[in-house]
Structure 1
Amino acid sequence: MKRTILLLIIAVYFFVNCTSKTWRFVIVNKSDEEVVAFHNSTSFLKDSMDLVHPDKWSRRDYSDFLRRSIPPNSSKRMEYWEDFLQEWPNDTLFIGLFNRVDLDTMTLFEFKTKYPIKHEFKVILQDMINCDWTLVYPPDEL
C-alpha cells in the first residue's frame, strides 16, 4: 500500500512538472504547401543537407521528422526550440524550411544538387522575444 501511494505521488509530480511548461515557439505556415522545419546552430545554406534528407535518418528520426511538418495555412508549436535557442553558441538559431514533398520525392543526390531550401530564418533570443516567439513563413519580405 505504501509503495502504491509513493508511486502515485511520484507519477503526479512528474506529470505536473512535465506538462506545466507552456511552449511559446510557434511557426506559422501561410503557404499552400506542407513545410518541414529544422533547427541548427549553423546555417543550412552552408551544406547541411545531411541533416535534412530522410535517407540519412533512422526510423526513429524519421518519426521526429513527421512531427516537424506544418500543414498548409496552419501553425505548430515547436516544443523545446526556445530551450535550444538559449543553449546554442552565440544564442543564434538557424531555422530551415523545406517543402515536405521535396523531402519525400527527391533522392539524396537530387537533394544535394538542387538543395531546395525554401527559407532560412536566423534568429537570436532577442529576435524571438520581439516577435512573441512566432515566426511566419513566408515572411512579408518575400
Structure 2
Amino acid sequence: MKKLISIIFAAASLAACNDKTELGPEHRAEVKIDKIAYSAPIPDTDVEVTCDLSCEYGIYSAWIDYQIDDDPEVQQTGAKLYDGSDKRNVTWHYSATIPGQPAGTKISFRIFSYTPYGKLTIGSIVVYTVSETEPAEISLPNK
C-alpha cells in the first residue's frame, strides 16, 4: 500500500510539474522605446542615436541593427547590457553610435531591447540619408 501511495504521489507531482500554466505579465511586457533622436548625419561623421527605454519589469539589454543603402547585410552597433546598478531598472536613456558614412548614403536602423524575462522588443525602422550640409538634430515623434 505504501508503495502504491508513493507511486500515486510521484505521478501527481510529475503531472503538476508538466502542467502548462500561464506565465505572469512580466513575461509579456515589452520595453517601450520612446524619444528616438539622432545627431546630424553629415559625411564621414559618426551619428549618435539616443532614446528612452522603459518597462515596469526592468530592462536587460539594448542594441541597434542598421543597414547601409539597403544592403541585405545587417550591421550591429551599441550592444549594451544594463549595468545592474538598479536591480529594478525600469527606465534607461540609451545611446549608441552608427559609424560615419559618405554623403548620399541611406541608413536604416532599428532599436532592439530585451527584458530580464526574455521578452524581445523590436522598434520601428528609422531611415536617414547622409547629407552634404549639416541639418539640425533630428527628433522623431513619440509612438
TM-score normalized by structure 1?
0.40
Q: Which has the higher helix share?
A: 1
Identify which of structures 1 and 2 has the higher relative contact order when contacts are C-alpha pairs closer than 8 Å and 6+ apart. Answer: 1
**Bigger radius of gyration, 1 or 2?**
2
Q: Which has the higher strand share?
A: 2
